Structure 1
Amino acid sequence: MGVATAPSVHVDVPVPVTDADRIGPSGAHWPRVARETADDLATDAAAREQAGKAPFDEVSRLREAELLTLLIPRELGGGGADWPTACAVVREIAAADGAVGQLLACHYFLSWSARLFSAPVLAAEIERQTAAQQWCWGGGLGGQELPLTLTKTSGGYVLDGRQSYATGVLVADRLAVRAERADTGEPFAVVVDAARLGVGIDGDADTFGQRLAAGGNVEFDAVPVAAHDVLGSLSTDEDVLSPRAALASPIGRLLSAQLLLGMTEGVLAEAREYSRSHSPWRPDWPIGSPQDPQVLTTYGELTVLARSASALADQALTAVHTGLARDEDLTFDEYAEISVLVAVAEAAASRAAQESTTRALDVIGARSASARLGFDRFWRNARAHTLYEPIAPRLRDVGDYFLNGAHPPFVLPVRP
């Protein structure tokens, strides 16, 4: 009897991500800028993480490198790059500093979201202002237990409620949040000036990881919201939600996967450098000895995990890139296939990050307990992120698609 195989997950019109797509329209410029910025962040990453100050300086570094405007079209004053380029930048930054990588990923996701939920004219105006003012975006569009409330008034709306631990809010110029209409219950994406009267932000997040992601709590007390600051509906009703707008879900999860892969690659790179200059298991062996079978096996296993997750992320990136190129021609069946590929990639990246950040400490040995070395920050950052974005729901989505052909639900990440 033959062996049953899983149904293939593909996009009907495959468009491979070429080298030109990955590096964007400006050649090698953005990869070089990302690498230089990451190298700069890496020099004091451990000390900054231990200090735990709000990352105003880190945002300044990103702003000076023009990375905040990377996704904005050139004609609107931005860098003119694409999502493959943005994902590569997030991954590079996250390898040096996972918290700053999350801050940047959140900024990209939120500042670009108007393209999916708003009319093109409004989206272009928002991006033009973002580029001109060099805005940093924070907040989150994921669902909450106690949703924010948007109440209709004669002059627009007012926003009320509290959003707990939203990324980037301590340093954000603009907040993008999810709020439900008080009269209909329909959820909408809303943009708010972080300095507006009635907006209260506190940094009492008290997390053990991702401490420099500028997370905090935001209180909205009768904050006026103009009609043009309501970007669009976040409804899951297919009569309201288009397949293209639904891509917001896999885009956010793809950023999560890139963030986790960056953390994986970062801890392995630092552990390798340490292993080359120290021999924790056998002090009698020469420094940098390649002879320890336990160390070699561990590095081999972690390399397989990291490269497997990276290959899956590349497939997911290709699928997302294809879906965006399909634009209004994208179907819900194609969206489902893209979403499943991204769910697979995020699950693999989550496991790679958790395994690598844990077992790298075992390779280094008891010396990894030194706060001065800062190896623990990789584990704490990865674990904090995966607690907010657990893989169990993604695995259920993949299983339901494999077994029943069910479309994954439109669920936005809590912390992209």
Structure 2
Amino acid sequence: MFSVAHPTQRWSQALRASNLLSLSVPREYGGRGAGWDEVLQTVRDLSERDGTLARLFAVHHLQLASVLLLGSREQSERLLPRSVECEWLWGEAVNHQERRLLAREHRRGGFLLQGGRHDCFGAEAVDWLLLSAWHAPSDGLLIAALPTDRDGLDRFEPNGGSLLRCHEVRLHPEDILQPPGLPWTPRAQLRGSLAALLQANLALGLAMRVCDGLPARTMVGGLRRIVGLGLRLSEQATVSLESALLAGNSLSFTRGAALATLVAETAVVAQQAVELGLRQEGVRARLLAGAT
């Protein structure tokens, strides 16, 4: 356990006090029902002020969306209203490439988890987690939602990087959002696009903060143009995302792939904006240091 003074706990407490935890939850589940344009604007606003707080906010809302995208109607009806009522903060331990966290069938249904996962940002300060585990017999991943106080689940923060360890952690059938061995639907694949779009807006918020801190000269004007392009691409991607979400189970792979391409373009421009902004900030700092 961490003291109140621990930075991750301070960020989580600030987010819990912000009245933003239910922002993206549909009204039918007791949330505020904000569109993704408002959620992404909030990501940028927070990123301009505190990048870590913004990332915790983005990760939280990605997991809430994941319940809707990956889970059943019954799982959404069970988890989302309770999340709003109890003000749960959600974290993530999903990695499609890593196989150190293993799942095997339990004799009474569900699975048992054994192993660990590194770099689970903020996991030590959240109430619920989405996690992935490798299931060797099906040669695939499962994705589950579970409370962080589940028996056998330990969370640490060694050297600034969150670590998750599971020792015979029980996953019940109702915990499984995406069973192993089943092909992903176009709707489920929207999760990847949403994750990338959130990350792009974290970067755009950081670039906007750099813009505001630099004098309005020619190079800054160039930075502002790149940020403006990133914002326009993000707006287009958000409109496409909302349309894809409305399509529901009728969403096609082609349409999902088009969205992924647009989000990737947004992410590239956002990263360029950050890199240019940091270079300009560094040049200005060196010039100021040389003048003193």
Q: TM-score, normalised by structure 2?
A: 0.91
| 1:338 pairs with one of 220, 234, 259 | 259
| 1:152 pairs with one of 105, 108, 124 | 105
2:150 counterpart of 1:192: no
User: Secondary structure, in 3 states, of the residue corresponding to 2:102?
Assistant: strand
Please identify which structure carries the higher helix content. 2
Q: What corresponds to 1:242 in structure 2?
A: 185
Deviations 1:376-399 (A, max 9, x none): xxxxxxxxxxxxxxxxxxxxxxxx
User: Secondary structure, in 3 states, of the residue corresponding to 1:126?
Assistant: helix
Deviations 1:333-373 (A, max 9, x none): 1111111000100111011112112212323445579xxxx
**How does 1:211-290 map onto structure 2 within 5 Å?**
215-233=161-179, 240-269=183-212, 271-272=213-214, 275=215
User: Secondary structure, in 3 states, of the residue corresponding to 1:151?
Assistant: strand
**How does 1:284-299 map onto structure 2 within 5 Å?**
296-299=217-220
Deviations 1:135-163 (A, max 9, x none): 11112323233342111112322111111
| 1:356 pairs with one of 261, 267, 277 | 277
Contact 1:233 1:241 in 2 (8 A): no
Q: 1:106 to 1:234 in 2, by over 3 A?
A: farther
Query: Letter of the aligned partner of 1:258 in structure 2?
Result: N
Contact 2:12 2:126 in 1 (8 A): no
Q: What corresponds to 2:121 in structure 1?
A: 167
User: Secondary structure, in 3 states, of the residue corresponding to 1:231?
Assistant: strand
Contact 1:163 1:219 in 2 (8 A): yes
2:18 counterpart of 1:65: yes
| Cα distance in structure 1, aligned partners of 2:289 and 2:245 | 43
Aligned-residue identity in percent: 24
User: Secondary structure, in 3 states, of the residue corresponding to 1:166?
Assistant: coil
Q: What corresponds to 1:309 in structure 2?
A: 230
| Cα distance in structure 2, aligned partners of 1:368 and 1:226 | 59
Query: Letter of the aligned partner of 1:124 in structure 2?
Result: E
| Cα distance in structure 1, aligned partners of 2:159 and 2:194 | 26
Shift of 1:222: 0.8
Deviations 1:300-346 (A, max 9, x none): 11111111111111111111111112222211111111110001001
Q: What corresponds to 2:47 in structure 1?
A: 94
Max Rg structure: 1
Q: 1:233 to 1:86 in 2, by over 3 A?
A: farther
| Cα distance in structure 2, aligned partners of 1:142 and 1:205 | 20
User: Secondary structure, in 3 states, of the residue corresponding to 2:158?
Assistant: coil
| 1:181 pairs with one of 135, 145, 153 | 135
| Cα distance in structure 2, aligned partners of 1:241 and 1:309 | 29
Q: What corresponds to 1:139 in structure 2?
A: 92
Shift of 1:185: 2.3
Query: Letter of the aligned partner of 2:185 in structure 1?
Result: S
Shift of 1:258: 0.7
Deviations 1:265-295 (A, max 9, x none): 11221x13xx4xxxxxxxxxxxxxxxxxxx6
Shift of 1:204: 1.6
**How does 1:43-82 map onto structure 2 within 5 Å?**
53-82=6-35
| Cα distance in structure 1, aligned partners of 2:137 and 2:120 | 25
| Cα distance in structure 1, aligned partners of 2:224 and 2:92 | 34
| Cα distance in structure 1, aligned partners of 2:149 and 2:264 | 36
Unaligned runs of 5+ in 2: none
Q: What corresponds to 2:247 in structure 1?
A: 326
Contact 1:302 1:352 in 2 (8 A): yes
Shift of 1:124: 2.0
User: Secondary structure, in 3 states, of the residue corresponding to 1:188?
Assistant: strand
Contact 2:138 2:180 in 1 (8 A): no
Q: What corresponds to 1:383 in structure 2?
A: none
